[in-house]
Amino acid sequence: MDITRKSIFCDGSFQNGKVVWGILVTDNDGNSLQTYRQEQKSGSANVAEYLALVEALEFVRVNCRGEEIDIYTDSETVILQISGVRRCKSKRLLPLMNMVNTLRSEVKDNGTTVYIIKINSSDNRAHDVVCSQPTMSDMDTMYDTMATHEEEYKEYMSNHDVNEWESEH
């Protein structure tokens, strides 16, 4: 049996009052196969990191039977808690940690081998998935800024020929 090996990078963060997380799935050669990004209104950076890992494990459970999968995270808290090195005391994180453990058991029962590996933040390819797309709160902030500075914008535009600028650059 030929065992394929995918990598999944997962990352989460707290941005503009929202929890944002995402995953990037790559093939054996590092080519991007799929990305997923989600956000919710409340939580913390650690909640986001756990949600990213849950998303990665859910992807594995549904799509990767009988494969070997490397899941990469830059969250030291998550790694230390799921490995049992550090006790999880947070009422917010404990249900997420339990969900991770349940999903790990389910994928193992499906014949899938999962390695969860700690990496440096600078090596986390999912960071771009999480941070490169503006969230709705980012868009709201941008529109609020534009509305606040509408008169300045109108004055700027009246003093600059946009077509001239485009042809120069």
CATH number (domain holding residue 59): 3.30.420.10
Q: For residues 42-48, give the mean pLDDT.
A: 90
Number of folded domains that form the chain: 2
Higher pLDDT, 31 or 144: 31
Q: Give the range among 8-12, 80-84, 125-129, 155-159 with minimum mean pLDDT.
A: 155-159
Q: Give alpha helix (H) positions in the chain.
A: 45-63, 76-82, 94-109, 126-132, 136-148, 150-158, 162-168
Of 26, 18, 50, give the one whose Cα is nearest residue 134: 18
* CA dihedral of residues 27, 30, 36, 39 (deg, nearest 10): 140
Do 63 and 138 reside in the same domain of the chain?
A: no
Of 71, 59, 75, 56, nearest to 14 by C-alpha is 75
88 and 151, same domain (yes or no): no
Structure tokens at 56: 């990665």
Q: Among all chains, which residue has been given the structure tokens 């590996």?
A: 117
pTM equals 0.75
Of residues 91 and 116, more confidently modeled? 116
Range of the domain at 153: 134-169
Tokens found for residue 108 = 């193992």
Lowest pLDDT segment from 55-69, 105-119, 143-157: 143-157
Task: Round the average pLDDT of the chain to a whole number and report it.
Answer: 79
Q: What is the pLDDT of residue 4?
A: 60
